[in-house]
A and B are shown apart, each in its own frame.
Chain A
Amino acid sequence: MRTMRSPQRERTNEQWLAELRSESADGETVEALREHLRSGLTRALRPQADVSDADLDDFTQDATVRVLSQLASFRGESRFTTWAMAIGIRVAYTTLRRRRWGDRSLEDLGIDADASAAPAGARSARPGAAADRSDLFQALRASIDSDLTPRQRAAVLGELAGMPSAVLAAQLQTNANALYKLNHDARLRLRDALHRRGFSESDVRTFLLEASRG
Chain B
Amino acid sequence: MNFATILKNGFVKENPVFIQFLGMCPVLAVTGTATNGLGMGLATTAVLLGSNTVISLLKSLIPNKIRIPCFIVVIATFVTMTGMIMNAYFPVLFDALGIFIPLIVVNCLILGRAETFASKNSTPFSIVDGLAMGAGFTVALVVLGAVRELFGSGSVFGLNLLGDAYPSAAIMIQPPGAFLALGILTAIFNVVILKKMKS
Q: Do A and B bind each other?
A: no
Give residues in B with beta carbon < 8 Å to A. none
